[in-house]
Amino acid sequence: MPRSAYSLRLSTLFRVIAFLTLLVCPSLVSAQQALPTYKQWRLACAKLPANRELRGRLPDKKVLPLPAFADFDRALDAYMRLERAGPLADAKAWVDNPPNPKVFFDFANTWYGGKEGPFQPFAAKLVLPNDAIALIMGDLHGDVRSLLCVLDELNDRKILDGFQFRDTKHRFMFLGDFTDRGAYGTEVLYTLFRLKLANPDRVYFARGNHEDINIAARYGFLDELQAKYGQQANITKVMRSYDLMPVVYYVGNDSDFLQMNHGGMEPGYDPRKLLAAAGSLRFQLLGQLRQKTYHAARAGWLGNDPRVKDLADEHFRDFTPEAPTMPRSIGFMWNDFTVFADEPALGYERSLVFGAKPTRRILADASTDSVRVRAVVRAHQHVAALNPLMSRLVASDGVYRHWQENESSADAEKSVNEIRRQLRPDQTRSIPDGSVWTFNVTPDSVYGVGTQCNFATVGMLKLAPAFKDWRMSVVRIQVF
């Protein structure tokens, strides 16, 4: 059977499973029926002041489209029950040992705060038909205005009908960082959950570094929940929803894959067994991350710079994650990339920064004769000023490919207009082997203000039987 037909049959199977889940869970059906339509939700959010107007404050409670936590919880609860009854709950979908469902789906307990339940980050493989189009968005950071502008555009293009996709070829990949630094984290999550509920087998969330209670406590989302809902807010339940999100997706057509995640490379994880497993949606617990072992086995893979070697010796460790940053950070959620090909192979700025050579080595080591990991699609690396990467994100309509052939570190301080003239970004772009693509953060944020960026971006990744024919189309959507 051709791979595309095989993937289509499995996709159909997952839709049947989702349908049967609704049949055996009448409460889930009633919950969805009680939720507002897309038009009603869009209208309810229209009166919200922009984050740019609020300047770090929260809006008046009178204008909130979800006045009580129970209004948010209907979608949250339906999402978590959907996941608990879906592919994650199928032990056969897990490579090696599946998590204990009594622990993994025990949403009353957590891995933080001294309660029962280990931290169990995991990876996912997603096989799509050769005619599939994967829509991609980067960081949202509490910016419901931009998210709804994107959904409006997709409705105008007849890709969506309200929250629901009109045909089977589309998927939606969200690359993490849904809350913090914006006033509308609950509204963003609610919108994402509604998309997932309407399209159980076609909407996917990668876990970002802000999908972490320790970060949410520092950057605003816990304050938002408490200010909006007080003691009504079930913070444990909201945080546990993040544990249902893989830290990395490998998305492809069964022979060629893109690594899709929030942060960067994680040399301590070997995905080859996951990628070799049959099936269109498979999972694997990360387990122990063997960064030091990987580094020690590859002499010279980082070049000969002694400063780079010292940095690797300092930061690479073999460890089992106990939290997203304990005892070390998970690279898939945290790490970054250099902008130019002539920069050092490895650096450190809040997290490890990988250059072209080691990134391509890790991708090659993740590949086999029959399965190849070709490139990386991610977000995360944002600041509220026009530094070399942010300038290129704005100049490239919100999607920038690192290490471009006609650039070097000598071009670092060029203006947005100079960069745009030099790069001449096309709307539709080929995907070179070993490339890294960063997606911009949405503009109703401190990032948008600092970079004078007024547009949101959605990527449209079009698959094909041969990887050389895959294309990334970039859709720029004006928000302000």
From 32-41, 63-72, 233-242, 355-364, the region with the lowest mean pLDDT: 32-41
Q: Which long-range contacts (CB under 8 A, 24 or more apart) does 114-118 make?
A: 118/322
Helices 185-198 + 38-45 axis angle, to 10: 170
CB count in 10 Å sphere of residue 37 = 11
What per-residue confidence (pLDDT) applies to 453?
97
Tell me what pLDDT residue 17 has.
47
- How would you list the strands of the sheet with 133-137, edge to edge? 203-205, 170-174, 133-137, 455-462, 471-478, 428-430
Say whether pLDDT at 115 is over 70. Answer: no
Q: What is the pLDDT of residue 296?
A: 97
The predicted pLDDT at position 31 comes to 52
Phi-psi region of 287 (alpha: psi -120 to 50; beta: other; left: phi over 0): left
- Please name the amino acid found at residue 120: Q
Confidence of residue 4 (pLDDT cuts 50, 70, 90): very low
Residue among 226, 260, 256 nearest 245 (CA) = 260
In the predicted structure, residue 5 carries a pLDDT above the cut 60: no
3-state secondary structure of 348: strand
Side-chain-side CA neighbours of 260 within 13 Å: the count stands at 29
Superfamily designation of domain 1-480: Metallo-dependent phosphatases (3.60.21.10)
Q: How many helices (H) and strands (E) does the chain have?
A: 19, 20
Cβ atoms 237, 80 nearer than 8 A: yes
Q: How far apart are CA 119 and CA 381, in angstroms?
A: 25
**Residue 112: its pLDDT value, please?**
87
What is the pLDDT at residue 114? Answer: 67
pLDDT digits (tens, 9 = 90+) for 422-474: 999 999 999 999 999 999 999 999 999 999 999 999 999 999 999 999 999 99
pLDDT digits (tens, 9 = 90+) for 22-45: 555 555 555 556 899 999 999 999
Phi, psi for residue 40 in degrees, rounded to 5:
-65, -40
Mean per-residue pLDDT, 82-98 = 97
Predicted confidence at residue 117, as pLDDT, reads 84
The pLDDT of residue 1 is above 50: no
> What pLDDT digit, counting tens, does each position of 253-265 carry?
989 999 999 999 9
- Residue 234 pLDDT class (50, 70, 90 cuts): very high
Name the token pair of 124.
């996912």
pLDDT > 80? residue 9: no
Q: pLDDT of 254-297, one tens digit each? A: 899 999 999 999 999 999 999 999 999 999 999 999 999 999 99
Query: Cβ(38)–Cβ(198) under 8 Å?
Result: no
DSSP state of 207: -
Instruction: Report the alpha-carbon distance of residue 312 to residue 306 in Å, rounded.
Output: 10
Per-residue model confidence (pLDDT) at position 116: 73
pLDDT digits (tens, 9 = 90+) for 334-392: 999 999 999 999 999 999 999 999 999 999 999 999 999 999 999 999 999 999 999 99
CB atoms within 10 A of CB 162: 16
Return d(Cα 141, Cα 146) in angstroms, integer: 10
More confident residue, 151 or 116: 151
pLDDT of residue 446: 96
Distance CA 377, CA 438 (A): 6
Write out pLDDT tens, residues 137-159.
999 999 999 999 999 999 999 99
- pLDDT score, position 34: 82
**In the chain, pLDDT over 70 holds for what percent of residues?**
93
Please state the φ and ψ torsions of residue 243, each to the nearest 5 degrees.
-70, -10
CA distance 23 to 6: 26
Average pLDDT estimate for 40-54: 98
Q: Rounded CA gap, 252 and 233, in Å?
A: 38
- Judged against a pLDDT cut of 70, whether residue 3 lies above it is answered with no
State the pTM of this model: 0.93
Averaged pLDDT of the chain: 94
Is residue 150 packed enough to be buried (19+ CB in 10 Å), middle (13-18) or exposed (0-12)? Answer: buried
